Amino acid sequence: MCGRYVIAGTTELSERFQLRSLPEGWLPTWNAAPSQRLPTVVEEEGGDRVGRLMQWGLMPRWRRDGQPGVAPINARAETLLEKPMFKGLVARRRCLVPISGFYEWQATGGRKQPFYVTAKDGGIWALAGLYDEREGPDGEPEVSYAVVTTAANPLLRPLHDRMPVILPREAEDEWLSRDVTDPLQVERLLQAYPEERIDLWPVDPAVGNVRNNGPELIAPAAAQRGLLEG
């Protein structure tokens, strides 16, 4: 799954994704949560990459203001081409969602222990995202996104049966490219990330409160290190 994540500063994003422009007014966060406006990467008509702030939680363009309905934060890779909310976005509304890592919870003895999941090499990941854009009540564009998920790899399966689609660097250009419009070509990129390239450790339950936001949230909780194996 993916319900909370961490994203580093603007300098790291600019260098990592070779962005022509960065989102204005955005600050790093150690506890990114649904409904927040967070940075994404899109490709413009001319091929330039830009950073855009989007709301995490997809609001389809066809939903009218005040109309009831959920704003999904995740989209299952296996059913993207079946769900009306997502199938129209696969060809031309794909984005990268930069993260430094994400949190996942393991049920243990009647409570839930959070773990921080990150790249073993310390680099920034790009999650596969789908986005949509509509006109808001004030006439300004409202842009929102969902993270694509797939079946968890063996390392993460003890925590959850789903994981976000972490794109290998060699697949990022293809996912982002506006020239790639064949849904089947896109679909083959949606694989579980190799477990040998992932690190994870238990962290303080304080991450469960979205008001907590600081680098201490990803510090290892040493006393809890045996939980995953147990």
Mapping DSSP to helix (H, G, I), strand (E, B) and coil, where does residue 109 land?
coil
Distance CA 149, CA 192 (A): 9
C-alpha distances in angstroms, 188 versus 46, 167, 192?
25, 11, 11
Per-residue pLDDT of the chain (230 residues; tens, 9 = 90+): 679 999 987 788 888 998 987 777 788 999 999 999 999 999 998 889 999 999 999 988 766 655 546 789 999 999 999 998 899 899 999 999 999 999 999 988 788 999 999 999 999 999 999 999 987 666 678 899 999 999 999 999 999 999 999 999 999 999 999 999 999 999 999 999 999 999 999 999 999 999 999 999 999 986 444 444 44
Give the closest residue to 206 by CA, choosing from 197, 198, 215: 215
CA distance 21 to 52: 9
Q: 27: number of CA atoms within 13 Å, CB side?
A: 5
Which domains are assigned to the chain? 5-100+124-154+164-194 (3.90.1680.10)
Active site residues: 2, 104
Q: Where are the alpha helices (DSSP H) in 30-101?
A: 84-87
